[in-house]
Chains A and B, each alone.
Chain A
Amino acid sequence: MRDIIVNKIIPFSTVDGIGNRCAIFVQGCNVNCIYCHNSETINLCNECRECIEVCDQNALTYLYNKIHYNEDKCTFCDNCINLSKYQSSPKTKKYTVEELFQVVKRYKPFIRGITISGGEPTLYKDFLLKLFKKVKELGITCYVDTNGFYNGENLIDLIKETDNFLFDIKSIHQTKSLCRTQLKGCLENLVHLLNLNKVEEVRPVIIGDYDDSKNTVITVAKTLKNYPDVTYKLIKVHTLGLKKRANEAN
C-alpha cells in the first residue's frame, strides 16, 4: 500500500496518550458501531458527488474523476460530512510515507510521539510499519489507537514496531449488534498486548443501560487487575434509543 488516506491531523493533542502527541486520524474502519461519533471516518469516499450539492462555499469540486477539497474556502460547517448515509468525508487527504513523515517532523520538537487513530489504523498496517520505522528515527514514539478487531497473526510486525496501544473495548458479547460486525477476538488481542507490555490505556464503552456494558466493564477490569500502570478510562456514551436500534440489528 503506497498511500494512506487521512481524515484529519491534530498537531498537538492532549487526549491521545500521555504527553503532547500528534494525532493522525485515518479514513476507513472495519466495523460500524451504532454510536460512532466520527462516523464520517468509517468509509472511503465512493465519489457519488452528493456532498458537492450541500457545500455552498464551493469548497468541493469534481475533477478528473475525483473529489477535490479546497480548505481555504471551507467554513467547516460540516454539511458535507453530515450527509450521513455514506459515512465518509470529501475532506480527506492522501499521503505517502515520506509526505506524512515530513508533516510529523515539523512538530517534532514539541511532541512526545504520534498516535494513529481513526477509523481503524490497523487497516493500514503495511504503511504504518514503514512510517513508524522512519518516525522512530526522530527519537519519538508511535502509538496505535485500535478498536481491537484485527487478526493478531497478520499484525506481528506492526505490533513489534508500535510503542504502545490505546485500546477500545466495545463489548464482550454483543459486538455483532453494537459494532455490526462478525469480527471477534478483541479481548484476546488485548490480553496479548498486555503480555507484551504494550498497552497505555483501555477504554470500555458504557452505553446507557445497554445490556452488555456492565459485563464489559467488569471483564476488562478483571483483565487489567495485574497491570496497575495501564489507564482504565470509562467512556460513557449518551445516545437515546441506541438499545432499541442495537436490539433491532440483532
Chain B
Amino acid sequence: MISDKKDIIDIVKNKALTYQQKLFNLANISERLLESREILRYTNEEIIHLENHMICDLNEGYAIYRPRYIVADYSTFVKKGCKFLDISAPKNIDELLDGLLILYNHVPSITSFPVYIGNIDTLIDPFITDEQTDYIKIKRFLNHIDKTIVDSFCHANIGPNKTKAGELIIKTILELKNPTPNITLRYNSKVTDKDFALTAVKACLKASKPSFSNENLYHKDMGEHAIVSCYNALPMSGGAYTLLRLRLGTIAKASKTFKEFIEITLPKVTKLMLNMIDKRIKFLVEESSFFETSFLVKESFISRDNFTAMAGIVGLADAVNHFLASEGKAERFGLSSEGDEIAHHIMQTIASNVNSHKGVYVERTKEKYLLHAQVGANLSDEDNYNTPAHRIPIGEEPDLHVHIKQAAQFHKYFVSGTGDLFAFDQTYLGNLDAVLDIINGAMEMNYRYITTYLQNSDLVRVTGYLVKRSEVNKVERGEVVLRDTAILAKGTNDNSKVFQRRIRK
C-alpha cells in the first residue's frame, strides 16, 4: 500500500520500536511513497484491487531493489571463500563460523535479514574435530545469530542425513531455546536415521524446532531447494523475487454468487495479481541494479535464473464458509465434505490461472509462478476475515486424524510451501515415537511440512515463525522488544488466537 509522509513521523516517534526497527521501517515507507503507476506501471484496476484488499502485496514496496527471499548456496563459501569480503575458504571450524556470520550480514531480503542461512549441519560437519569444544562454538554461533539476526523468519536447514554436527545443533537448540534461527529438518523416513529423527521430535516439542519438511516430495517437485522464512520451499542458489497474495475471504464476500466468484471475480483478481508479479520482477531484473551489482551473483552464491516468484493465498476457509452459509448450510470448512469440494474448486481455478500464465524470468520453475499457502499477516482489517493459508480457523479444529487428513488434500497445490502446526500436551514427551508416527503418517499423505510444540512452552510458533510468549506480552504492554516478529505475533494473535490452538492430548 502507498504510504504518506505522516507515516515517517509516526515511526520516528514510536515508543515500541528499536533504532534498527525504525530504520528498516523508514526504508520501507520511502519505497512506498513512490507512485506505483509510474514506477511499476500498475494500472488503475490493479491499484483498486490492492486498495480494496482483495490482493495484498505484503507491503513489499514499489522501488524494488532486492529479491524478497534469497537462498544463497553457502557451500560455495566453503569451497572458495568470498572475494568481495576478502575472506579465504575456511580451513577450520572457527574460520567457517566466523565467515558465515560475516556473510549473513550481506545477504539481503525483504526484511533485510537473511531468510536462509544454509544447510548448517552439512556445512559444519566436515570441520568437526573435537565434539566438546566444537559444541561450545556451535552454541556461540547460533546464539550470535539469535541476537543479531533479530527476525524469526531467518531459517536454517539440517538433514536429511544424520551427522555429528546435526546432533550438536539439536543439543544447542534444547539448551538455548532461542526463537532464531527457525530450523527445519529435511526429513525422509527412508534416509533420516530414526534415532536422529526422535531427538529432533524431542527438540521440536521442547523448543518448537526443528520442524519437519517432506524432503522426498519437495525434491521431486523442485529438485535442489531449501526451506526458508516460514516454510517456503524455494530453489537453491536462487530464491523468490516477490510474493503477492489473494485474500480469498475478501474476494468471496464481494461476490454475489458462487458462480460469479468462480467464473468472473476470482479469475480476474488472480490475473491482476499475476500481472503485478510480472511488473515487479521486470523492475527488479531490468531496472534495479541488483543482479548486476551484487557480489552474491558475481561469486555464484546465487544466480538470476534460479529465481522464481510466489502467488500466495489466505482465507480459503473463510471463502468456503461464506458460500456454505449462503447456501443455508450449517457446516463449516474442516468438517464438511461439501466444503472440501468448494475448496478444491477454488484452488483448481486459481491453479489453472497461475499455471497458464507465462511468468517472466522464472525459467527455473518452467516459466510458472508457484502457489504458496501464505501464513497470514496483520496489514489490514481484512486480515481478521482471512484465516492463514488453507487452515481451519483456531477454535474449530477437529480431532487430529481428521484435521491432518483434511489439510493433507490441499498440500498438493502449494509447491512453494504450506504446512501445519499442532500443539501437543506433556504426555507426548514420554512417547516420542508416537509423534514421529503422526509425522510419518502425515508425510505418507503428502504433507509438505509439519511442526509441533508443547502447549506450555514459552516459545510458540505463531503461523510459521517462532516467538517468545513473554516477548509478545511485552508488546502488549507497549514495551520495546528485540524482534519485530514479536510485534507481528501480537497482531496475528489478536486476529486468530494462535495461543489458543487446540491441544492434542
Closest to B447 in A: A109
Q: In the complex the two chains form, is A18's CB within 8 Å of B433's CB? A: yes
Which B residues are in CB contact (< 8 Å) with A111?
437, 441
A111 to B428, CA, bound (A): 14
Which B residues are in CB contact (< 8 Å) with A30?
none
A15 to B504, CA, bound (A): 14
Q: In the complex the two chains form, is A20's CB within 8 Å of B442's CB? A: no
Tally B residues with Cβ within 8 Å of A.
21
- Give A101-134 as 1s and 0s: 1 = Cβ < 8 Å from B's Cβ atoms: 0000011111110000000000000000000000
Q: In the complex the two chains form, is A106's CB within 8 Å of B437's CB? A: no
A18 with B399, Cβ < 8 A, contacts A110-B437, A111-B441 known: no
Which of A12, A15, A18, A109 has the most C-beta atoms of chain B within 10 angstroms of its own C-beta? A109
Closest to B445 in A: A109
Q: Which of A1-56 contact B (CB under 8 A)?
A: 11-15, 18-21
B434 at the interface (CB under 8 A from A): yes
A18 to B435, CA, bound (A): 11
A109 to B450, CA, bound (A): 15
B444 at the interface (CB under 8 A from A): yes
Q: A10 CB to closest chain B CB, in angstroms?
A: 10
A205 to B429, CA, bound (A): 23
Main secondary structure of the interface of A (DSSP, over half): mixed
Q: In the complex the two chains form, is B434's CB within 8 Å of A107's CB? A: no
Q: In the complex the two chains form, is B444's CB within 8 Å of A12's CB? A: no
Q: In the complex the two chains form, is A14's CB within 8 Å of B444's CB? A: no
B430 at the interface (CB under 8 A from A): yes
Which A residues are in CB contact (< 8 Å) with B431?
14-15, 18-20
B477 at the interface (CB under 8 A from A): no
Cβ-neighbour of A14 out of B404, B405, B430 (below 8 A): B430
Which of A15, A19, A20, A108 has the most C-beta atoms of chain B within 10 angstroms of its own C-beta? A20
Main secondary structure of the interface of B (DSSP, over half): helix
Q: In the complex the two chains form, is B434's CB within 8 Å of A109's CB? A: no
Q: In the complex the two chains form, is B437's CB within 8 Å of A112's CB? A: yes
Q: In the complex the two chains form, is A20's CB within 8 Å of B444's CB? A: no
Which of B400, B434, B436, B440 has the most C-beta atoms of chain A within 10 angstroms of its own C-beta? B434
B6 at the interface (CB under 8 A from A): no
B427 at the interface (CB under 8 A from A): yes
Q: Which of A71-117 contact B (CB under 8 A)?
A: 106-112
A14 with B428, Cβ < 8 A, contacts A20-B438, A109-B441 known: yes
Q: In the complex the two chains form, is A12's CB within 8 Å of B400's CB? A: yes
Q: In the complex the two chains form, is A20's CB within 8 Å of B434's CB? A: yes
Which A residues are in CB contact (< 8 Å) with B427?
14-15
Q: A223 CB to closest chain B CB, in angstroms?
A: 25
A109 with B444, Cβ < 8 A, contacts A12-B438, A14-B427, A14-B428 known: yes
A13 to B438, CA, bound (A): 11
Q: In the complex the two chains form, is A110's CB within 8 Å of B438's CB? A: yes
A74 to B207, CA, bound (A): 38
Closest to A18 in B: B433
Q: In the complex the two chains form, is A110's CB within 8 Å of B401's CB? A: yes
A228 to B389, CA, bound (A): 48
Which B residues are in CB contact (< 8 Å) with A13?
434
Q: In the complex the two chains form, is B399's CB within 8 Å of A14's CB? A: no
Q: In the complex the two chains form, is B433's CB within 8 Å of A106's CB? A: no
Closest to B444 in A: A109
A190 to B427, CA, bound (A): 28
A12 to B445, CA, bound (A): 17
Closest to A21 in B: B434
Q: In the complex the two chains form, is A12's CB within 8 Å of B430's CB? A: no
Q: B503 CB to closest chain A CB, in angstroms?
A: 13
Q: Which of B120-155 contact A (CB under 8 A)?
A: none
26 contacts across the A-B interface (CB closer than 8 A):
A11-B400, A12-B401, A12-B434, A12-B504, A13-B434, A14-B427, A14-B428, A14-B430, A18-B431, A19-B433, A19-B436, A20-B433, A20-B435, A20-B438, A106-B401, A107-B401, A108-B441, A109-B441, A109-B445, A110-B437, A110-B438, A110-B440, A111-B437, A111-B441, A112-B433, A112-B437
Which A residues form the contact surface with B (CB < 8 A)?
A: 11-15, 18-21, 106-112
Nearest 10 interchain pairs by C-beta: A110-B441, A20-B437, A109-B441, A20-B434, A14-B431, A19-B433, A14-B434, A19-B437, A110-B438, A14-B427
